[in-house]
Chains A and B, each alone.
Chain A
Amino acid sequence: MNEQRPQRIIIIGFGPVAASLIEGLLPAAASGQCEITVISAEDQLAYNRVLLAELAVGAAEFAHLSMADPQRLADAGIEVRLGVRATGIDRSRRRIHLDDNDFVSYDRIVFATGARAVVPTLNGLNFEPHTDASLPAGVFALRTVEDAHQLRKSIGLGQRILILGGGVLGIEAALAIARTGAQPVLVHHGPTPLGRVVDADGGALLTRNLREAGVEVIPGAKATGVQKDARGFTGLMTSTHGLIQADALLISTGVRARTELASGCGLPVGRGIKTDEFLCADTEGRIFALGDCAEVSGQPPVGLLAPGWAQAAFLSQLLLQLTSSAASEPLAAPDFSASDVLMLKGQGIELTAAGDISAGYWDDTDLQATVYADPARGRYLKIVTRQDAITGFLAMGLPQTSAELVLAYERGTALPEDRSSLLRLDDPATDQISAIPSDEDQLCRCSGATYGQVSHAVDAGCTTVAQVGESCRAGTGCGGCKSKIEELLSKAPSLA
């Protein structure tokens, strides 16, 4: 495509993924290669949603979550329209209609509309899936900065706060709330929290860890409704545990892609806006989607930032190419598959999970499972491999091992045949206490002086480190071997 005027790219939504996409397009915007407009229904520039729990408990300030610098965007000529909602897209006239009765024209659209919190079908809640629900007093979601501000008002010392949902966001919120002195209660389906990524043993350890951190855990709960009085929420009704009373309820039962704008203009939608592997959502190559609102080649969004950022990095390259007049090699199809690593965030519980760990160790497949459990020290590791490459793992209480496993998983590198060598990363063997050094062994790295040479100097009458240094140069470089020389000096027979 070789168009003369700069192409107009409209980005709908301004979350962390859109911010990363814009970062990649910034030079092209600044040079006039393309014109970028960002439309966001929220009143804020992009911020890091991952830290909303910290914001809700007062452990972080909103300004610190900001992921975009308005000056930088303005300097690059990027137009940002906050608090404006796109209401419809006229694909034949290439216009986006806005809720302020204005419209913008486009050459390309990027959907970065993200996802909204799922409100479960409970008596007493409005669970309309395609709008942002209005929740009764004392019931919260945690998806936006507004949600975090609301929740913050309810968290007080001794307050009992239910968290419904055993996913990563629910767990992180529960742990953050525990640190404030409030009483979090994690209510979840199934036998363990994080049931989709942990197995029974890992789940048992996780539940123990949560309880030790001050989180009450109620597993296997089926919620049926919320109980309210005039002031708001008073308890969660369940078919399994009866009424669970509390002062507030945080709903953390997952998110759903915001797709209504896309489906409204005829784009195919499944669990997200359907795109091909190049993130393209239409047949003309004008409309793209990424992040939590996109179902990329049949894969529903996973609700993590890493895949969205990987997609943003790719899409910025692709858009640069599409809007450039210079000829270039077509981009290879990207692979976002290894970006599903989940690492529990900073609350004293070390848990990292990725891929699928459901394979059993006696299963007759090409998958191999390796398991290590050390409950006394809070450690658990399960690794599933195919031909030594990781297809899934769960690591708890093993920070170094899990950091290395993430790298190996994402790179697809082969693990050592002896998996137990990985465990040693968290207990690095202390330097082996060597046998009694021989005369030929080096004592001083800097000078190369050996034990024999230093002993000789001592035998010859040296009584101080300095004298030994003059005699054989040991100890005269970095000074690190002084203690060894002193030891030899102290062993010397006294002349007196």
Chain B
Amino acid sequence: MTATHCPYCALQCGITLEPNLQGNSPEPVSLTGRDFETNGGALCRKGYSAAKLLDHPERLQAPLLRQADGSFAQISWEHALDLVAQKALNIRAESGADALAVFGSGSLTNEKAYQLGKFARLALGTSRIDYNGRFCMSSAAAGTNRAFGLDRGLPFPLADLDGAGMILMLGSNVADTMPPFVRHLAGARDNGGLIVVDPRRSATAKLCADNAGWHLQPTPATDLPLLLGLAHVLVTESLADTCYLAARTNGFDSLRSSLAGWWPERTAQVTGVPAEQIRHTARALAQAASEAKTGGKPVYILTGRGIEQHSNGTDTVTAAINLALLLGLPGTLAGGYGTITGQGNGQGGREHGQKCDQLPGYRKITDPEHRAHVARVWGVDPETIPGPGLPAVELLDALGTPTGPRMMMIHGANPVISAPDASRVIQALSRLDFLVVCDFFLSETAAQADLVLPVLQWAEEEGSMTNLEGRILRRRAALAAPENARNELWILSQLAQRLNAPGRFSPDAQEVFEELKLASAGGLADYSGVRWDDLDAGAAIYWPCPAGTEVRAERGIRNGTPRLFLDGFAHEDQHAVLVPVVFQPAPRKNNSSVSLVTGRLLEHYQSGAQTRRVPELAQAAPEPRLEIHPTTALAHQIAQGQKVVISNERGAVTARALLTVDARLDTVFLPFHYPTSGTANLLTEAKVDPHSRMPEFKHAHVSLSAVKEEQ
């Protein structure tokens, strides 16, 4: 029996794996829910069926090299590694180290994320590394860093939500994306206090029914003004916590003047949310927050990708944080603000140095002291560490351009499906001289590669993950890997040798973790007091956990820093910063277009490279469906179940119409998990946020036309 965690989302549900004897079962291990704090033994369909991927027939069995005729041929590891090293050396000699690029992932273990960043900087010598978390958590990270001086998704344990009196959830559909999360909303629902903001009446919005709360349904891309309107009511009706603001924040005067123009009726005209709903919501939040501070139940504001994946995502997160600060919640036991991290290691993945501007321990690559510290741990001269590189969208755009990278290595990501403006991404990849993709299936991105390296899956490897609450967990191997698949740590260590890289590149997860601890010591995300043995014993450890922290493994004991900011925020004066933000309405588009929002289905995870290969999930959601209001469908002469072409200046997608009154009249919804002509990201725009470089995933203008199907 092996206690580990689900391979998918950041909830990192506890599971138990038990190897099945040969022939007893269709799967190599049987997988059951384990009583762990985030899931309480519960799992969703994705989690239950995860073991079906381990001995999947499409599992890659050997390194694959593209042949002259376009097909792939199996080659030996020796040949593959020599080839990668040779290509990298040649290209570097011809065009410089920045002609080499690395693209990482929030699905990699902490150790892999760390080693990948180090490999890029020391072995390749390139500045050009970034990762798919840019498409995920970057706006929330930029917003929380700006306000609090620190970014940890939930700055409190998830279980704190259980006792909440009120929860405002903006742009997150946990009922589909991470179903066991819903158990933590039960307290707020029982209290009539679940408020969901979503342009769709999503499965999560439906949890507000029966007096469990209420749903605000703004038109897409107007979350920012809605938040400004809520904050306006708090300020003008003198409902803000002025004592808290004076004691723990800076910038109220400036914030206040930015809010004066957002009275509820004006907000209603921009968002489509009735003014009375805005007033009612703001007053209810203020009432609940004031009760929370006098012995009542705490109040939380949570955000997800729905409000973050916009070209004003950072400002929108800031507006949500400002609302929480006006209510006097963050850094108290009366509640707080949190962002719900998506990818399995979306938290750890953004701490250990695979971001283009970052070094391990959430350090800045531009800060001389930070560079010096990491250089000491790596045993190199700080001068040898390159400067900041390009964030994901810019990095992908630069591929194969005269000054851009000529070779790229992709680990744990499928940008052909998950990056915006997908046809541009495919073009960019095709401009490369040499594309290496590490994956365990031939993902749509791997299919574009010159060389594909088969790697391990979650149940075959050791490592650590950091979940959505900043708790560090152990991922454990329960069975042997296929003969020819390799651990990415081993791959990087082999390549580092061939490239004569300075520093150590261990193939062993625990050894890498020990080095990660040293590199993170003294940084914001300090892991130096986290002991592997304590993790093994199941100790609940939340970063920062500096060296010397006493850790106890008993159940119910929380170690490290379960709750951040109780004594002060991470800025020098310990105050949080209220940053005024401005809403710039998008110029009006042609009036026959409708708004497209993209998102996820319960059955699929991210680009679908895994879940589309699980038969029961694929059968339940085999193809993209376009959620559309019946009235809008009628106007476009679209019938239930009919195929529809959704198009704009960037591309066209085909999906089957699903008529539902859960949609707004002006908005259609597409899941983004599907390949080829079903890839929703063919339609999204690579316009990015000025602070986080997050692209505009959640809003595009599209035209609809029904496909006349021939019988």
Q: Chain A: residues with CB nearer than 8 A to chain B?
A: 16, 19-20, 23, 45, 47-48, 50-51, 54, 59-61, 63-69, 71-72, 305-306, 309, 313, 335, 341, 343-346, 350, 389, 399-400, 402-404, 406-408, 410-414, 416-418, 421, 425, 428-429, 431, 445-448, 473, 476-480
Contacts and interface: CB of A to CB of B under 8 A. Distances in A.
5 contacts: A64-B256, A64-B260, A69-B257, A414-B592, A478-B181
Contact of B666 (A66, A67, A335, A407): A407
B236 A51 contact: yes
B45 interface: yes
Contact of A413 (B237, B238, B256, B591): B591
Nearest to A476: B42
B588 A61 contact: no
Contacts of A335: 588
CB-CB nearest 5 A-B residue pairs:
A399-B274, A478-B182, A412-B591, A478-B179, A477-B179
B272 to A, nearest CB: 5
Contact of A60 (B41, B236, B276, B635): B236
A305 B266 CA distance: 9
A306 to B, nearest CB: 7
Given A65-B236, A313-B585, A421-B631, 15 more contacts: A54-B236, A66-B260, A69-B580, A72-B254, A305-B266, A346-B264, A346-B276, A408-B666, A412-B588, A414-B591, A416-B665, A445-B203, A473-B48, A477-B42, A480-B175
Contacts of A69: 253-254, 256-258, 580
Contacts of B238: 60-61, 64
B41 A476 contact: yes
| Residue among A63, A71, A306 facing the most chain B CB atoms (10 A cut-off) | A63
Interface in B615-642: 616, 620, 631-632, 634-635
Nearest to A342: B265
Nearest to A428: B661
Contacts of A16: 261
Contacts of A448: 45, 616, 620
Interface in B219-266: 219, 235-238, 253-254, 256-258, 260-261, 263-266
B634 A416 contact: yes
Contacts of A59: 237
Interface in B33-76: 33, 41-45, 48
B602 interface: yes
B274 A71 contact: no
Contacts of B631: 416, 418, 421
Contacts of B271: 403
Given A476-B33, A479-B182, A343 B257 contact: no
Contacts of B582: 23
B531 interface: no
Nearest to B240: A64
A407 B41 CA distance: 45
A416 B272 contact: no
A446 B179 contact: yes
A188 to B, nearest CB: 22
Given A448-B616, A448-B620, A477-B180, A65 B260 contact: yes
Contacts of B602: 445-446
A49 to B, nearest CB: 10
A399 B275 CA distance: 8
Contacts of A344: 265
B261 A20 contact: yes
A59 to B, nearest CB: 8
A479 B186 contact: yes
Contact of A446 (B44, B275, B580): B44
Given A66-B257, A413-B666, A445 B279 contact: no
B268 interface: yes
Interface string B575-590: 0000010101100100
Contacts of A402: 274
Nearest to B234: A64
B294 interface: no
A477 B274 contact: no
A346 B666 CA distance: 26
Interface in B12-43: 33, 41-43
B236 A411 contact: no
B634 A417 contact: yes
Contacts of A400: 274
Contacts of A476: 33, 41-43
B321 interface: no
A346 B272 contact: no
Given A60-B236, A478-B183, A479-B186, A404 B44 contact: no
Interface residues of B, number: 60
A130 B537 CA distance: 83
| Residue among B41, B258, B584 facing the most chain A CB atoms (10 A cut-off) | B258
Interface in B133-185: 175, 179-183
| Residue among A306, A421, A428, A431 facing the most chain B CB atoms (10 A cut-off) | A421
B395 interface: no
A446 B45 contact: yes
Contacts of A71: 253-254
Contacts of B256: 63-64, 66, 69
Nearest to A429: B661
Contact of B276 (A350, A414, A445): A350
Contact of A346 (B43, B207, B261, B279): B279
Contacts of B711: none
Interface in B330-348: none
Nearest to B207: A480
Contacts of A413: 591-592, 666
B273 interface: yes
A240 B151 CA distance: 69
A404 B272 contact: yes
A59 B233 CA distance: 12
Contact of B266 (A64, A67, A306, A478): A306
B610 interface: no
Interface string B189-221: 000000000000001000101000000000100
A346 B263 contact: yes
Contacts of B33: 476
Contact of B236 (A64, A446, A480): A64
Contacts of A412: 588, 591
Interface in B660-682: 661, 665-666
Nearest to B589: A411
B224 to A, nearest CB: 15
B276 A306 contact: no
B269 A346 contact: no
Interface string B274-315: 111101000000000000000000000000000000000000
Nearest to A389: B591
Contacts of B181: 478
B279 A403 contact: no
A67 B262 CA distance: 10
Given A16-B261, A65-B260, A416-B631, A479 B219 contact: no
A60 B238 CA distance: 8
Nearest to A400: B274
Nearest to B665: A404
B635 A417 contact: yes
Nearest to B619: A448
A194 B272 CA distance: 23
Contacts of B272: 403-404, 406-407
Nearest to B174: A478
Contacts of B253: 66, 69, 71
A50 B442 CA distance: 60
A309 to B, nearest CB: 8
Contacts of B269: 306, 341, 343, 403, 406-407, 410
Contact of A447 (B48, B203, B235, B258): B48
Contact of A479 (B45, B183, B203): B183
A343 B665 contact: no
B618 to A, nearest CB: 12
A429 to B, nearest CB: 6
